[in-house]
Amino acid sequence: MWRKAWAQWWMIGFMAVLAGCGSSKERLIILQTGRMAGNVYPLEVRGVAPLQHYPYLAGYVKQVREEARREGAEVLLIDSGDSLLGSFASYATGAQNMVTLFNTLGYDALFLGNLDANLEEAMVEKIQAPLLIPFVRESGEPALAGARLALKLRKGPTELVLLPNFYGNFDPAEAPQRFPIWFGTATGKVKPLRNYGPVLAGLQPINEKTLTLFHWMKFESGGLEPSSYVEQLKGMGVTLILAHSIYSSSERDTWKQRDYSGWGLPISENILRQNRGFTVARVDLLKGKKGWEVERPARIIPMNANTAPADPILVDAIKPFAKQIQQADVVLGELSESVDEEALLQSHLLTLTGVPGANMVFYSAASVRGSLDKGKLTASKLYNAIPWTGELSLIELRPEQLAALRQMKGYALLSKKGSESKPVLVSSRYFTRLLQDSLKLTEDQIRPAGVNNEFEFAKQAYQSGRSLPVSKPQLGDWIYESLD
């Protein structure tokens, strides 16, 4: 009897030793979300936004953490940016719906992207995770107060370094419209982070066992020389690239895994949709004798009921925002017909002619993000189509500058008959700064239009009785030009 008992205890002890040996290896599961564009609505307001992915995201994160606990692994959960702003819900709540999501799920770090440029410091004060930003001011300081240019942290026995990047080593001068030129409420231009030497020096000591992750937002190969740039990243100690890519909503609802095996560095890429469907990029790493290796191939996982059950904890955490969103979603009027994107663009430019002093309106032809259906026009529907909340500027142009403006491609111009002699343009803060660089405008040619919020200006104009958008706008004395 005692021999049998001894044998059983010996076997239990032997299995424990084996289990201990297995758990001594460092394993790390990296989960990467992004491009959520503020699209987290209480389920009670499904009429405003019926497609909600966040309950399944929370369920999946919970699932993976339990898996990691069983296997002796650690989980790193990050967001790639462009997630705090972009929806009517985040506008109505001051982005606190997204702050609640990040805090409830316990994110380890959040990266900020170009679409986060309108963030106000008060919006992010309650975020518990560190913020990383790939943009700097002329002084070299982070473009947003409180954000960091790099982060060192631990996940269990593993020391990690996170480095933010926007667009690889792409020169902003080659595509200035793709780069933010301000960030937050502070004045002064910003530029992309490119000099990582001082940033890494500020994290010392960093040992050779540290896992360094390079977060590459706007991951595009065009114009880059991957071989030389990858060697540069290796020289910085980078072990893995966390890539953030976007594809157009006009493409099929699929996520094709792309092969980067020839790059010389492993890559986990999250391909995100313009129409705000949530996905998670997952990569499983194992630390072996030769260092960190990809244990399981990187993959992209769509968040839906087939992936994981909804997590009621997060659903309940978002629920209190329902009343706030419903109160903000006022009715602006009744549309007697549907309005497509082109007609909505012209209608919106006509609305902006209501800015005192303007006899021209300059705008991007691609700025309208949707059409309007026949029926009630609500604030949320208008916002979803024209989600721009920046301030407007008045710009006095010289004739030769107006001629140069008409050569710019991809924009629309609405001008009043007889405005050529003294053109005064109204445009958004973003396009104002682009024009300043392109047309060599001086500061005395630019002044505030007295409109701090473009969306609110349009909303209040409709509430005050201005004509609602129609399928065939009547331009009257105004001339519409598409600058193709």
* CATH number of the domain where residue 434 is located: 3.90.780.10
- Which pLDDT belongs to residue 436? 85
Q: Give Cβ neighbours of residue 462 (< 8 Å, ≥ 6 apart).
A: 332, 333, 351, 377, 382, 468
In a domain, 15, yes or no: no
In a domain, 341, yes or no: yes
* 187 to 234, 393, 448: CA distances (angstroms): 35, 15, 14
Q: Report d(CA 443, CA 440) in Å as an integer.
A: 10
| Beta-carbon-side half-sphere exposure of residue 65 (alpha carbons within 13 Å) | 12
* CATH number of the domain where residue 270 is located: 3.60.21.10
Q: Which domain holds residue 347?
A: 330-483
Q: Are residues 367 and 300 in the same domain?
A: no
- Which pLDDT belongs to residue 221? 60
Q: Are residues 319 and 425 in the same domain?
A: no
Domain boundary at 324, 342, 374, which? 324
Q: What are phi and psi of 67, to 5 degrees?
A: -60, -45
Bridge partners, residue 377, by sequence: 333
- Which pLDDT belongs to residue 473? 94
Q: Are residues 303 and 392 in the same domain?
A: no
* Closest C-alpha to 430, from 190, 194, 149: 190
Could you tell me if 26 and 289 are in contact, meaning their C-beta atoms sit under 8 angstroms apart? no
What is the residue-level pLDDT of the chain in tens, covering all 484 positions?
444 444 454 444 444 444 444 446 899 999 999 999 999 999 999 888 888 999 999 999 999 999 999 999 999 999 999 999 999 999 999 999 999 999 999 999 999 999 898 898 899 999 999 999 999 999 999 999 999 999 999 999 999 999 999 999 988 888 877 888 888 888 788 999 999 999 999 999 988 889 999 999 999 865 566 788 999 999 999 999 999 987 654 555 556 677 788 888 999 999 876 545 688 999 999 998 888 999 988 899 989 999 999 999 999 999 999 999 999 999 999 999 999 999 999 999 999 999 999 999 999 888 898 899 999 999 999 999 999 998 999 999 999 999 999 999 889 999 988 787 788 989 888 888 888 888 999 989 999 999 999 999 999 999 999 999 999 999 999 999 998 7
Domain boundary at 324, 346, 362, which? 324
Domain boundary at 304, 324, 344, which? 324
Q: How far is CA 341 from the centre of its chain?
A: 23
Q: Are residues 300 and 358 in the same domain?
A: no
Q: Looking at 82-229, which runs of residues are DSSP E strands? A: 109-111, 131-132, 135-137, 151-155, 158-166, 190-192, 211-217
Q: Report d(CA 140, CA 270) in Å as an integer.
A: 29
How long, in residues, is the chain? 484
pTM: 0.90
Q: Are residues 254 and 159 in the same domain?
A: yes
Bridge partners, residue 321, by sequence: none
151 CB neighbour count, 10 Å cutoff: 20
Q: Are residues 359 and 429 in the same domain?
A: yes
Q: Are residues 267 and 416 in the same domain?
A: no
